[in-house]
Copies of this chain bind each other. A is one copy, B any other.
Amino acid sequence: MHQKEDGWVRTLEISPPDLQNNTADADRLIDTLKSRLDIRRLDLTIDLELLRQLPFLMREWGYRVRCILLKDRAHWVLTGLLPVDDKRSPAGVAIDLGTSRVVLRLVDLTSGNVLAEDAFDNPQIEIGPDILTRIHYADDHKGLERLQQLICDGINQHLAQLCRSCSRVPTDIYLITVAGNTTMTHLLLGLSPSRMIREPYIPVVNRPGLIPSAELGLQASPHARVFVFPNIGSYFGGDLIAGILYAGVHRSDNTALLVDVGTNAEVVLGNKQWLIACAGAAGPALESSVTRMGMMAGPGVIDRVRFERTIGEFDLHTIADRPPCGICGSGLIDLAAELFLSGMIDMRGRFRPQTCSDRLIDVGGIPNLVIVPADLSATGKPLTISQVDLDSLIRSKAAMYTILETITATVGIGLKDIATFFVAGTFGTFIQPASAIGIGMLPDLPLQTYKVLGNTSLGGAALLLTSNRLMEEIDQIRNRITYLELNINQDFMNRFSAARFLPHTDRARFPSVRPLASG
């Protein structure tokens, strides 16, 4: 099989020793690697246990060995030795370590092929669904240990299942790449996140580097290493660095923008010359405020909405085509856009009773619009959206638009100058840019400008399993990013106020959005 020169797996033909070449076994391996890589000085760590086996394995295999060689900066680590004719190829696993959801992707380290994928709810949810509760729980040493144990156990359990699903075993795994927000990666490493929520918001470490998986209690090959994507600070995690790597913003000739909508809206703007990033609380309305209706994407959750104006009915799509039980972020954006375009809400987001007619009901003094009547809902109760939900969504979309406007203005360009607009995040997997434009959440750019990438955090972590050169790119990304602290100043507030209309006070910015003129 052809081996990429930047892959983690290499077949080395080591010169057998003779009286003219009686360098030690380990050093002949290093010399072979040196000439292969054409570097003069090679700093290679071989764990003692592996070093002890080395002379026996080299001879047993006739001096032809497959090495799993990790690299971090100028420092190499030998994590595994295999015979060249072994059927079982070494594997790596990429982990998107989310606050709510953890996604694992098992990858063949030699070919880069995806072997299997699995996701599970972050077991730390039993301590608290939100980050803040977990951070407070971790203030106590025992609490931190428990959170670390929970996530490690969860990963071990699902990793074992994942391996079984494709006839592998965890000891086939030599590299684990983890992308997550700064709190989640701290909890995985057992590092106290306490100072990240208190001024001046300090993580324990920005760049954890390669860590023996055994030290974390993760089950893998005995010498496997865990690479945790570096963060930039408490509010800018390795998940976004992985996202930039995956989207390739840092290699782009034209200016690109990447937005990852989760609990926060994290935005990166840049190209191969510069990168600027900021984060803001734009997402709560999208991901957790509207809890009443259920937010997590799952069976029965409404993820796409159309309003058939001709028959005056909603055309709803639910995940797995099950009876509707709630609505997720992308469904909510679709819904709001359709309500606005069909004239059921006005440009301030208020229900228009004359258009909504009998769909509009009063619940405790608050107007609610029935989306799914009780008899069609999975819960036996009508699914509704209230004026409060809408107001919250509009605040969120206004915040998002304001952040986008602010970050572009900061570097002296307009939103129209964005050549590629990457939408990321689990939420971003389902978002329809046209709907987001319809409510003025995203700018009115040609639809082909938008690239919906899905889980870029997982994508970046998995990409790293295919090339060691990306280690350097990750550092370059991290070093090149200017982090923009969003100051909630008069400019910001003015922009925010103007963005609280549908799609915007300045209608000229959204020429493609044409709501029905209704009475």
Shortest distance from the beta carbon of A479 to any chain B beta carbon, whole Å: 10
Chain A interface residue count: which class?
Answer: 35 or more
Residues on B with beta carbons closer than 8 Å to the beta carbon of A18: 200
Answer yes or no: A2 CB below 8 A from chain B CBs: no
Answer yes or no: A192 CB below 8 A from chain B CBs: yes
B202 touches A25 (CB 8 A): yes
CA distance A234 to B203 in the complex (A): 48
B201 touches A55 (CB 8 A): no
B19 touches A202 (CB 8 A): no
Residues on B with beta carbons closer than 8 Å to the beta carbon of A26: 204-207
Partner of A190, one of B17, B24, B48, B231: B48
Shortest distance from the beta carbon of A223 to any chain B beta carbon, whole Å: 12
CA distance A209 to B206 in the complex (A): 27
Answer yes or no: A215 CB below 8 A from chain B CBs: yes
Partner of A17, one of B54, B200, B211: B200
Residues on B with beta carbons closer than 8 Å to the beta carbon of A87: none
CA distance A206 to B44 in the complex (A): 13
Answer yes or no: A140 CB below 8 A from chain B CBs: no
Answer yes or no: A490 CB below 8 A from chain B CBs: no
B22 touches A207 (CB 8 A): no
Shortest distance from the beta carbon of A323 to any chain B beta carbon, whole Å: 48
A41 touches B206 (CB 8 A): no
Answer yes or no: A195 CB below 8 A from chain B CBs: yes
| Interface positions of A from 271 to 330, Cβ below 8 Å from B | none
A19 touches B200 (CB 8 A): yes
Answer yes or no: A142 CB below 8 A from chain B CBs: no
B191 touches A51 (CB 8 A): yes
| Interface positions of A from 52 to 78, Cβ below 8 Å from B | 52, 54-56, 72-75
B75 touches A27 (CB 8 A): no
Residues on B with beta carbons closer than 8 Å to the beta carbon of A128: none
B75 touches A204 (CB 8 A): no
CA distance A48 to B212 in the complex (A): 9
B25 touches A204 (CB 8 A): yes
Answer yes or no: A165 CB below 8 A from chain B CBs: no
A203 touches B43 (CB 8 A): no
Residues on B with beta carbons closer than 8 Å to the beta carbon of A204: 24-26, 51-52, 54-55
Answer yes or no: A85 CB below 8 A from chain B CBs: no
CA distance A269 to B249 in the complex (A): 58
B22 touches A200 (CB 8 A): yes
Residues on B with beta carbons closer than 8 Å to the beta carbon of A201: 19, 22
A52 touches B206 (CB 8 A): no
Answer yes or no: A32 CB below 8 A from chain B CBs: no
Shortest distance from the beta carbon of A219 to any chain B beta carbon, whole Å: 17
Which residue on B lies nearest to A72, using beta carbons? B43
Answer yes or no: A38 CB below 8 A from chain B CBs: no
A195 touches B55 (CB 8 A): yes
Residues on B with beta carbons closer than 8 Å to the beta carbon of A258: none
Residues on B with beta carbons closer than 8 Å to the beta carbon of A209: 45
Residues on B with beta carbons closer than 8 Å to the beta carbon of A112: none
Residues on B with beta carbons closer than 8 Å to the beta carbon of A506: none
Answer yes or no: A362 CB below 8 A from chain B CBs: no
A27 touches B207 (CB 8 A): yes
Residues on B with beta carbons closer than 8 Å to the beta carbon of A43: 72-75
| Interface positions of A from 191 to 228, Cβ below 8 Å from B | 191-192, 195, 199-209, 211, 215-216
Which residue on B lies nearest to A144, using beta carbons? B52
Residues on B with beta carbons closer than 8 Å to the beta carbon of A205: 24-27, 46, 51
| Interface positions of A from 161 to 197, Cβ below 8 Å from B | 189-192, 195
Central interface residue in A17, A47, A201, by most chain B CB within 10 Å: A17
B234 touches A22 (CB 8 A): yes
Central interface residue in A46, A49, A55, A209, by most chain B CB within 10 Å: A55
Provide 26 A-B residue pairs closer than 8 Å at the C-beta atoms, listed in order of the A residue.
A17-B200, A19-B199, A19-B200, A19-B201, A22-B202, A23-B202, A23-B233, A24-B204, A24-B231, A25-B203, A25-B205, A26-B205, A26-B206, A27-B207, A43-B74, A43-B75, A48-B189, A48-B190, A51-B189, A51-B204, A51-B205, A52-B191, A52-B192, A54-B204, A55-B191, A75-B75
Could you list 20 further interchain pairs (A-B, Cβ under 8 angstroms) beyond the known A18-B200, A22-B202?
A17-B202, A22-B201, A23-B206, A24-B202, A24-B203, A25-B202, A26-B207, A43-B72, A48-B189, A48-B211, A48-B216, A51-B191, A51-B205, A52-B189, A52-B192, A52-B204, A55-B195, A55-B202, A55-B204, A74-B74
Closest 4 CB pairs of A and B: A26-B205, A24-B203, A24-B206, A27-B206
